[in-house]
Amino acid sequence: MLRKLTLETISLLFILLFVYTAVSKFLDYENFRVVIGQSPLITRFAPILAIAVPVAEIIIALLLVIPRYRRAGLYASFAMMLLFTTYIIVLVTLSERVPCSCGGVISRMTWKEHLYFNICFVLLALLGMWLHTKDKQLVHT
Amino acid sequence: MLCVVGCLALVLILYAFADKPNDHKNGFTRRVPAVTAMFQHSLTLKYPAYYIAGYTNQHIYLGNYSASLHLLAVNQNLQDTQELTLKISPEERYAWKLTRVMVDSPAVYMAEGNTPALYRGKLDDLMMDRFLSQSCFFNMLQNISTTSFISRSIHIDSLGNSQNILAKVKTDSPYVKLGKSILTKQVDGIFCTDGTLDYDKQTGKLVYLYHYRNEFVTLDTNLQVIYTAHTLDTNARAKIEVAHMSTGISKFSAPPTYVNSRVRIADNRIYVLSSLLADNEDRKTRQHNEIIDVFSLDNGKYIYTLYIPLKGEGRITDFIIKGDQLFALHDQTLNTYSILQ
């Protein structure tokens, strides 16, 4: 029961996070598209990423909502958060002036806060994946 | 596991494709060996976000971006600090986040260019009174005498194009005189003309140094150009991309190539804090030092290069030169160096 509840909470947290950031990116799309280009890592891919990132976030949120695809959703969330985390680490070491375009209140975080926040979510996704596998095993036995 | 490897690989691919500053050759050389400044004293300040507001024979004055009325006086060997508060009538309305304090002993000025609001007081009582109400909007201000200032303002021409220009603001008529065609437009007129300004009391000359191109302009106090000269690097045109948004705001849409960050004039020399590495410098040079190129104020010719060793407190945000001493501000740390050659 507790396992189920934890899993639900983790999924809900990810859904909230991804929907919130994706929507705030779309609402402020014009700005997002410009600011994302300021990052030296992704200048060349900015026009594609400006659409791909929020769309991917929505898709992951949908995967998490549908029970059949939850496992895929959790894996995708883990991958996404890991991607963001490595990106932050590389960006901070690479460039003297770092812009941020994460969306909504999340943009207000400092780089340290960002890093801790992301690591928390990476761990949450790991926990979710583990719980989900356990769940499946129980059903099968 | 596959996930982890995939993510790391993706970021590494992005990293491989990224334009890294100072990674490729910048195409210029500096005079070697450079002179290395000698570290003297260090003072950790109580708050972050300080800037240099001015200096007298005995003191350096620091203003603070997040506390418009706060002023910190520090003596030359950084032993003695004194917190001061400017006094202003409570009815006064101004955008405190945009105000800058300028100390030009015995006067102290406080300026905010969006209202615009200008205040003047004396260092010994700090009572600030409204001053020069016939001013214009500005985004940078430098006092050149007790009755006149040089401002950088945005000028909009008849076609609706906006551009930064320098102007002289005085207490008597004609209150504002525009110095057209001093700052030259290359890309958008605003970002591409951005830079820093310093005034030398001794010679009455001003230098405006562009941030994104290898150029500075030396002027007299009547906004007459004495000469235009170049910093060492090869960025003759600003490498910036600007996007104009429907809200009327413009933003960079790619990382700008930042060339020069700060100019200061002292003893007939121009000190330019540079962001770029020369081809004959080691890649680690800028990790451990701040690089200042020194030019002659008479003709803008390059003389030598000065290295300011960093002590792990981050990059220099502002600096001044006073005799053979250099005061370097690193946001929350103030260091002094001896630059005796």
pLDDT tens for B291-314 read: 999 999 999 999 999 999 998 888
Structure tokens at A27: 């609402």
- Res B71: pLDDT: 95
Q: Do B253 and A83 touch (CB under 8 A)?
A: no
Q: Is residue B172 predicted with pLDDT exceeding 90?
A: no
Using the structure block, give the residue that is written with the tokens 């898709």: A59
Query: Is B3 domain-assigned?
Result: no
Asked if the structure places residue B2 within a domain, the reply is no
Q: Given phi > 0 = left and psi -120 to 50 = alpha, else beta, which region is B221?
A: alpha
**Structural domain includes residue B72:** yes
CB B67 within 8 A of CB B45: no
Check A34 against B245: CB less than 8 A apart.
Answer: yes
| Shortest distance, CA A40 to any CA of chain B (angstroms) | 6
pLDDT grade for B264, boundaries at 50, 70 and 90:
very high
Contacts of residue B198, Cβ cutoff 8 Å, sequence gap at least 6: B142, B206, B207, B263, B264, B265
Asked if B169 and B176 count as a contact pair (C-beta separation under 8 A), the reply is yes
Q: Closest residue of A to B7, CA-based? A: A83
- Per-residue confidence (pLDDT) for residue A30, from 0 to 100: 87
Nearest Cα of chain B lies from the Cα of A87 at a distance, in angstroms, of: 6
For residue A72, the chain B residue with the least C-alpha distance is B3
Average pLDDT of span B78-97: 90
Give the pLDDT mean for B269-281.
94
Across the interface, do A34 and B252 touch by the CB < 8 Å criterion? yes
Q: Does B244 contact chain A (CB < 8 Å)?
A: no
Distances (CA, A) of B19 to A47, A94, A111: 17, 10, 21
Query: pLDDT band at residue B5, thresholds of 50, 70 and 90?
Result: confident
If you average pLDDT over residues B106-121, what whole number do you get?
Answer: 92
Tokens 């121009």, residue located: B270
- Identify which has the larger pLDDT, A108 or B116: B116
Full domain range(s) for residue B331:
24-338
Q: Tokens at residue B42, please?
A: 């260090």
> Would the CB atoms of B3 and A46 count as touching at under 8 Å?
no
The total domain count for chain B is 1
Shortest CB distance from A94 goes to which of B18, B247, B251?
B18
Q: Provide CB contacts within 8 A for B131, sequence distance 6+.
A: B109, B118, B119, B120
Cα B293-B294-B299 angle, rounded to 5 deg: 125
Q: With an 8 Å Cβ cutoff, is B241 touching chain A?
A: yes
- On whether the CB atoms of residues A104 and A20 are closer than 8 A, the answer is yes
- pLDDT band for position B22 (cuts 50, 70, 90): low
**C-alpha closest to that of B274 among B338, B216, B217, B321:** B216
Higher pLDDT, B25 or B141: B141
Q: What is the pLDDT of residues B201-222, one digit of tens each?
A: 999 999 999 999 999 999 999 9
pLDDT class for B160, splitting at 50, 70, 90? confident
Contact residues, chain A, for B251 at CB < 8 Å: 31, 34-35, 38
B48 contacts in chain A (CB < 8 Å): none
Residue of A nearest to B252 (CA): A38
Distance, CA of A78 to CA of A58 (rounded, Å): 15
Least confident of B131-135, B264-268, B332-336: B131-135
Which residue from A31, A44, A79 is facing B7, i.e. has the nearest CB?
Answer: A79
User: In Å, what is the CA distance from B124 to each residue of B77, B85, B127, B128?
Assistant: 22, 11, 9, 11
Residue B123 lies in a domain: yes
The structural domain count of chain A equals 1
- Could B251 and A34 be called an inter-chain contact, meaning their C-beta atoms sit closer than 8 Å? yes
Q: Indicate the Cα dihedral angle B14, B19, B20, B24, nearest 10°.
A: 130
Which of B10, B18, B19 is facing A83, going by the closest CB pair? B10
pLDDT category of residue B149 using cuts at 50, 70 and 90: very high
Mean pLDDT of the region A99-124: 78
Best mutation target, B14, B212, B251, B259, to test chain A (most A CBs within 10 A): B14
Q: Decide if B132 is inside a domain.
A: yes
Identify whether B9 is part of a domain. no
At A99 the pLDDT is 60
Instruction: Using the predicted structure, report yes or no on whether residue B85 has a pLDDT greater than 70.
Output: yes
Compute the distance between CA of residue B338 and CA of residue B242 in angstroms, rounded to an integer: 40
On the question of pLDDT at B316 being above 90, the answer is: yes
Question: Residue-wise over B180-199: b if at least 16 C-beta within 10 A, else e?
Answer: eebbebbbbbebbbbbbbbb
Could you tell me how many residues make up chain B?
341
Q: Cβ A34–B17 below 8 Å, yes or no?
A: no
Q: Given a cut of 60, is residue A124 above it in pLDDT?
A: yes
Residue B58 CB neighbours (<10 A): 11
Selecting from B6, B11, B315 the residue whose C-beta is nearest the C-beta of A96 gives B315
Rounded distance between C-alpha atoms, residue A112 and residue A115, angstroms: 5
Residue for token digits 């551009």?
Answer: B163
- Which ipTM did the prediction report? 0.72
Is residue B14 one of the residues assigned to a domain?
no
Q: What CATH number corresponds to the domain at position B154?
A: 2.120.10
Which residues span the domain enclosing A65?
Answer: 2-140
Partner residue opposite B3 with nearest CB, options A42, A75, A90: A75
B315·A42 Cβ contact <8 A: no
**Confidence band for B98, pLDDT divided at 50, 70 and 90:** confident
| B3 vs A43, A79, A90: nearest CB | A79
Is residue B17 situated within a structural domain? no
Predicted pLDDT of residue B169: 92
Q: Chain-wide mean pLDDT for chain B?
A: 91
The tens digit of pLDDT for each residue in A15-71 reads 999 999 999 999 988 888 888 888 888 888 888 999 999 999 999 999 999 989 999
| Contacts within 8 Å (CB) and 24+ apart, B3-8 | B3/A75, B3/A78, B3/A79, B3/A82, B4/A82, B6/A79, B7/A79, B7/A82, B7/A83, B7/A86, B8/A86
Residue B15 in contact with partner chain A when CB distance is under 8 A: yes
How far does A5 lie from chain B, in Å, by closest CA?
26
Q: What phi and psi, each to the nearest 5 degrees, are found at residue B286?
A: -80, -10
Look at residue B327 and tell me whether its pLDDT is greater than 70: yes
Instruction: Give the percent of chain A with pLDDT over 90.
Output: 40
